[in-house]
Structure 1
Amino acid sequence: MTIRVVIAEDEAIIRMDLRETLEEEGYEVVGETGNGDEAIELVRDLLPDLAILDVKMPGKDGLEVARLINNEKLCGVLILTAFSQREVVEDARDAGALAYLVKPFQKSDLVPAIEVAIGRFRELRALTGEIDALGEQLEARKAIERAKGILMTELGISEQDAFAFIQRRAMSERSKMRAIADRVVDGSLRP
């Protein structure tokens, strides 16, 4: 699968060189701009795998764009800049940049930086998915516990019997235990 890239660099010559280098290395440049406001729109519209952002450009700067991309979890971000001061590097990291490259860069530095940024973004996306799944499991567990409590209190049955009722009902209706528990909690289902 080809990795899709958006370039946001206000210097046309650097942007052109970057595009050429990326295409030579097998990446697909799906959009490019020299303006930060346009960069965020391109990323939202094109949903690339990676955005390469210059720090200093008209409109929103690269760090603002990186922050928006990161908050919306749209793609990986590689910051490209002429500034190597620690403060700028830390600002880039805090904005959600997953890799950082100082201009002028060597072609041999670009590909590893891209691969690091994309790899880190994929790891973060996978972790986010795991966190969401764990959150759903926790919410389901809470609903089942509430439902068991209601059944135990109202019917005077054991916790084991309350759980068995929810489990059997879910199996017989080919439903999730969470859905049965929610019906018990809202009062629409009783044994």
Structure 2
Amino acid sequence: MSKRVVIAEDEAIIRLDLREMLEDEGYVVVAETGRGDEAVELARQHQPEVCIFDIQMPGRDGLDAAREVAGDRTSAVLILTAFSKRDLISEARDAGVLSYLVKPFQREELVSAIEVAWGRFTEMRELEDTVESLEEKLETRKAVERAKGLLMDDFQLSEQDAFEFIRSTAMANRAKMRDIAQQIVDGLLTP
């Protein structure tokens, strides 16, 4: 599947060159603008895989736009600039930029920068999904342990019987064990 791209570059000639290079490489340019404020709106509207932002643009600078788009966690962000100052690179990284390209650049450098940004973005998404899944499992375990404790204390069930009650009730009701455990803790469900 071709990656969809939003371009935000205030110099029309560079924007045109970018579009041509990207399309020649199989990317799909879904939107382009010369303004930073429009870049954020276009990114939200089109939900591309990659956004390429110039740093200096009218309306809003590229780092500010990048910070907002990166915060939405929907697109990988790559910054284009004519400057390669170390503090600018640090600021871009802190804004959530995943790749950095200094003008003028070659087609191979552009493709490489996009693929680096996309690779980092997908790794971050996978890590966030893993963390979310682990947090959900931890919360479920805590709820089940609380419910088991109540069942053991209030109804003199063994730990195994308390667990089995929660598990079988969840299965019978096609519910999550966490939800059944919460009902027990809330006093809404008893054996």
Could you tell me the TM-score, scaled by structure 2's length?
A: 0.96
- Runs (4+) of structure 1 exceeding 6 A deviation are none
Deviation at 1:169, TM superposition (A): 1.7
- Residue 97 of structure 1: aligned partner: 97
User: How many residues were matched structurally?
Assistant: 191
Report the equivalent of 1:132: 132
Equivalent position of 1:52 in the other structure: 52
Matches of 2:71 and 2:15 in 1, distance apart?
25
Residue 79 of structure 1 aligns with an amino acid whose one-letter code is: I
Q: In structure 1, list runs of 5 or more residues that go unmatched.
A: none
Superposition pairs for residues 7-18 of structure 1, below 5 Å? Answer: 7-18=7-18
The CA deviation at 1:160 is: 2.2
Instruction: List per-residue Cα deviations over 1:150-184 (Å, max 9, x = no partner).
Output: 11221233322211211122233333211211111
Please give the alpha-carbon distance, in whole angstroms, between the structure 1 residues aligned to 2:103 and 2:185: 60
**Which 10-residue stretch deviates more, 42-51 or 158-167?**
158-167
RMSD: 1.1
Q: Secondary structure of the equivalent of 1:88?
A: helix
Distance 1:63 1:75 in 2: 14
SS of residue matched to 2:190 = coil
| Matched position secondary structure for 2:53 | strand
Identity across matched positions, percent: 60
Other structure's SS at 1:10 match: coil
Matched, 1:78 2:109: no
Deviations 1:47-104 (A, max 9, x none): 0000001111112211111111111102001110011010001111111111100011
Deviations 1:7-47 (A, max 9, x none): 00111111111111111111110000111110000000000
Matched residue, 1:64: 64
Matched residue, 1:31? 31
Distance in 2, Cα, partners of 1:108 & 1:169: 58
Aligned to 1:177: 177
Q: How many angstroms apart in 2 are the aligned matches of 1:49 and 1:117?
A: 10
Cα shift at 1:108: 1.8
The worse-fitting range, judged by mean Cα deviation, of 41-50 and 149-158 is: 149-158
Greater CA drift, 92-101 or 160-169: 160-169
Letter in 1 for 2:4: R
Q: Distance in 2 between matches of 1:47 and 1:178?
A: 33
Secondary structure in structure 2 of the residue aligned to 1:84: coil
